[in-house]
Chain A
Amino acid sequence: MTAPLLSVDDLAVRFVTPDGTTTGLDGVSLEVRRGEIVGLVGETGCGKTLTGLAILGLLPRSARVVRGSVRLDGDELLGLTADRLREVRGARVGMVFQNPASAFNPVFTIGSQMRYVLAAHERLPKAEAEQRIRETLAEAGLPEVERVLRAHPHQLSGGMLQRAMIASALLCRPQLLIADEPTTALDVTIEAQILRLIRRLQESRGFSVLFITHDLGVVRSVSDRVVVLYAGRVAETAPTADLFARPAHPYARGLMAAVPHASGRREALASIPGAVPPDVGTIEGCAFADRCPLVVDRCRAERPLLRELAVGHRAACHLADAGAIL
């Protein structure tokens, strides 16, 4: 088996604010293999966006990487100088964010912003650059290329802007695309189109995707593998079909039982009592222990590590053994 494209190992991030310090990520490890879409899912504050920002070297000033490593195709990204990081971002790693309207500069046309992105990373003859931009936009499902190039962001719909955003992210043919809630601001009809577009482009170009979302339905429809985060730690990771068929971590099970389905009404929705702990860094045992219906003494005393339950299916729970998930 070849080495994964992206490997995040024991990544820990702390926030330092005037009010004290708190833990953002507490030892997150995950991998994205070549040509796969990995869904990173969790609730508000679980650290999913923070993970994406840490990979890109875009952490806010108040956040510090305490330990860990982020390797892209073997190259360590943590600790790179700002100049070296800029070479990675945009060229080797593309980014798509939730709100395309605020990701583009409102006073420049889409065309000028795309030319700027391309020129920042590659020195191409003008004709070749123009052709690359036009091809990429068309590939992203924007056939009216000339109109899009001349448009300012406010002149395009949310769906078209997100397509333009994806085209910009893919302009320099990155190995990895980090998409942070790219469809959350869109209507479901547009969301479905964007999800299909990302899948289609991934298949035709062969890049890898880290797809960050809070939406279990989106994760299920788009990703090959899922990583479930809880309170800055990885709770469970598995191939998508496996995770939805046999969730092992009580938190993952709780989440799935809480989602109302359009495809069939559930009699009652389970809810997860309590709240996320304020600072997971101070917790010696399992971060979910206080909310867990299965909790035993060991859960509070000893932090559960990710254990392999089936091929590629790992959960950080003392009680999730191979027998319990079947």
Chain B
Amino acid sequence: MTAPVVATAAVVPLVSVRGLEMAFHVDGRVVRAVAGVDLDILPGEVHALVGESGSGKTTLARCILRLIVPTAGTVEVEGRDIARLRGGELRELRRSMQLVFQDPEGSLDPRMSVRDLVAEPIRTHLRPARGGIGPAVVELLDGVGLARRHLDRRPHELSGGQCQRVAIARALALKPRLIVLDEPTSALDVSVQAQILNLLLELRARHGLTYLLISHDLGVVRHLSDRVSVMYLGRIVERAAADEVFEDARHPYTRALLASVPDAAAAGPRPTLIRGDPPSPADPPTGCAFHPRCWLRDRLPDAAICATTAPPPVDGGNRAACHFADRVAPALAEDRP
């Protein structure tokens, strides 16, 4: 991995999200899938969004890509509010932000050859001279580890890993600044997953890319990411450098999430830190949204505030949105013999 990106005032974020909310109307109720998020994605970093199903990871990413328009808040890309972009500026935004999906075969048109799949975004966005695309397509495929002999194949003639390479080549074709990777290896076997993860890191270094990674696999997140934002019920509850999140998490939810991971590197059972399902975003708990499932609250004599008052949000000076973040590590230290 390259040197970790240090968040300093001198670095201008590539993407800057402020006060973002996305509410959906479902069966007459309002569901706040994203319930107030601030997020900076720095140029050159791999920023991961982690959290359970329904925590708002994908909805947040869709707002950043302007695939959906948020109900409140702003998304700025290189200082420009993307909601105000029109015409050529909007096309330029679309070009500069690409998306790689979970299901590689499903995200490729089954009737198109690899050649056409990779050429399509170039034709659409860059309007090249006729006949001038061929070498660019071959170079892109070479860059993702595919050869000339793959040019005339269709998706069903490729393996899952090869399809994902084609999807990555399509994303790279437009020389984007940001690539959103939505569960990029969830559908792949581990041996193939390793190839794709290695490729993604190599491409990041070669092209100076920025990734927003959405993944439920915390091993993948640890391997790829520089910084991690942990989401719970539409909010970011902890944000820090990846090593800090994995080695020294400050939010009880982050600890619980990490303790749940069945790890091929660790033997034996680990302490249970979480119970039950996440609550419905249509009916979120009062105070801290995590309080009904919180193991730390159970151990504190003075935790009435958790059910009544929302903790201060994550920002530059506050790593974890928890009233008792400083009690997390001591509480777990007591468990050790």
Distance, CA A157 to CA B274, complexed state (A): 16
Distance, CA A43 to CA B188, complexed state (A): 9
| Binding stretch for chain A, among B80-88, B192-200, B304-312 | B192-200
| Binding stretch for chain A, among B6-14, B31-39, B220-228, B281-289 | B220-228
A 252-277 contacts with B by CB, 8 A: 254-256, 258-266, 268-272, 275
User: For residue A217, which residue of chain B has the nearest CB?
Assistant: B262
Residue with the greatest number of chain B CB neighbours at <10 A, chosen from A199, A214, A266: A266
- Of the four ranges (under 10, 10 to 19, 20 to 34, 35 or more), the interface on chain A belongs to 35 or more
Contact A191 B260 (CB under 8 A): yes
| Binding stretch for chain B, among A91-99, A114-122, A182-190 | A182-190
Interface: B323 (CB within 8 A): no
Interface: B219 (CB within 8 A): yes
Contact A221 B262 (CB under 8 A): yes
Residue with the greatest number of chain B CB neighbours at <10 A, chosen from A190, A192, A262, A265: A262
Interface: A205 (CB within 8 A): no
Contact B191 A272 (CB under 8 A): yes
| Binding stretch for chain A, among B18-26, B105-113, B175-183, B265-273 | B265-273
Distance, CA A158 to CA B54, complexed state (A): 12
Tell me which residues across on chain A come within 8 A of B195, comparing CB atoms. 271
Contact A214 B222 (CB under 8 A): no
Question: Secondary structure at chain A's binding surface: helix, strand, loop or mixed?
Answer: helix
Tell me which residues across on chain B come within 8 A of A196, comparing CB atoms. 269, 272
- A260-B219 contact given A188-B257, A192-B260, A269-B194, CB 8 Å threshold: yes
Tally A-B pairs: CB < 8 A: 132
Interface: A296 (CB within 8 A): no
Distance, CA A271 to CA B258, complexed state (A): 25
- A261-B269 contact given A217-B261, A220-B264, A221-B262, CB 8 Å threshold: no
Contact B198 A188 (CB under 8 A): no
- A262-B218 contact given A191-B262, A217-B262, A217-B263, CB 8 Å threshold: yes
Interface: B216 (CB within 8 A): yes
Distance, CA A260 to CA B53, complexed state (A): 21
User: For residue B197, which residue of chain A has the nearest CB?
Assistant: A269
- 12 additional A-B pairs beyond A262-B221, A272-B194, beta carbons within 8 Å, are A187-B52, A188-B218, A188-B262, A189-B256, A192-B260, A216-B190, A220-B263, A220-B266, A260-B193, A263-B265, A271-B198, A275-B159
Can you give 15 contacting A-B residue pairs, CB < 8 Å? A43-B189, A188-B52, A188-B261, A189-B52, A189-B260, A196-B269, A214-B190, A217-B263, A219-B264, A220-B267, A221-B263, A258-B194, A262-B218, A262-B261, A263-B263
Residues of chain B whose beta carbon lies under 8 Å from any beta carbon of chain A? 1, 52-53, 159-160, 189-195, 197-198, 216-223, 242-243, 246, 256-269, 272, 274-278
